Amino acid sequence: MYLLPAVDIRGGKCVNLIQGDYSQETVFSEDPVKQAKTWWNELKHGLIHIVDLDGARTGKCEIVHILKTISSAGIRYEVGGGIRSLKTIEEVINAGAERVILGTAVLIEPELIKTASTIWRNKIVVAIDAKEGKVAIEGWTKPTEISPIELAKMIADLGASRIIYTDILSDGMMKGPNYQMTIKVAQSTPLPVTMSGGISSLNDIVKAKELETYGVDEIIVGRALYLNIFTIKEALKILMEN
């Protein structure tokens, strides 16, 4: 299982939100590039998970210049937030993105996923963000009536290479992930699943590793790292144990 440290960017700063609420923001670094370098130096392999929070609301990538700087530093990353067109996908891939995360687009324009997955094979990932059993879109601000399980079943047919499942109510709360829903999502799709939201202790890492059986092979960690609850090195030690 792999660990992806999170770098969420808003207003040019590295921040963290609670349950996706833009009014509950904590600024952890004035320099997201420096923060990405810090995580990468500890991680040494894999990917940094980058979210463009401004882009998630405006519907266009607002951080291309930051992505280029991160890439030029030799950091491998995936990025999501406001990526809703082929032009933007191409733009962020040219900026160095290893994987591109599409969220809102999967419901508004599913053909975009299919086309992008054909052009950029294995680089297109779909984010399923859910609150109380229903998917939310447009930066988590707009609820829908579709369940994450229903959406997960649709995504594999569109050609995406992976699903990132985030439980919104767990995100930033430091009370543990929603393991059961993550398992249900993973069981409903042949795609590998990344779990996001709520990792708050090394015990959560131990429990997350047990989900490998269901096809969950990555976890995204944000707030717990920023609060120094545990280090990347400590988490990796658990994840690499047989």
Cβ-count burial 25-50 (b if 16+ within 10 Å, e if not): beebbeebbebbbbbbeebeebbbbb
Indicate which residue of 52, 54, 129, 171 is catalytic: 129
171 catalytic? Reply is no
Q: Residue 8 and residue 28: Cα distance in Å, rounded?
A: 10
Q: Say what the pLDDT of residue 173 is.
A: 53
Grade residue 165 by pLDDT with cuts at 50, 70 and 90: very high
Note the helical H segments in 3-128: 32-43, 53-58, 64-72, 86-94, 105-108, 110-119
**DSSP-derived 3-state class of residue 5:** strand
Sign of CA pseudo-dihedral 60, 66, 71, 74: negative
Q: Are 92 and 64 in contact (CB under 8 A)?
A: yes
What are the C-alpha distances in Å from 66 to residues 3, 7, 59, 97? 22, 12, 17, 11
Q: Are 167 and 202 in contact (CB under 8 A)?
A: no
Q: In the CATH scheme, what is the code of domain 2-239?
A: 3.20.20.70
Q: Say what the pLDDT of residue 20 is.
A: 65
Which of the residue ranges 132-146, 154-168, 200-214 has the most confident prediction, judged by mean pLDDT?
200-214
Instruction: Write out pLDDT tens, residues 125-159.
Output: 999 988 888 888 776 667 788 999 999 998 989 99
8 catalytic? Reply is yes
pTM of the shown model: 0.93
Domain positions in the chain: 2-239
Instruction: Write out pLDDT tens, residues 33-62.
Output: 999 999 999 998 999 999 999 998 888 899
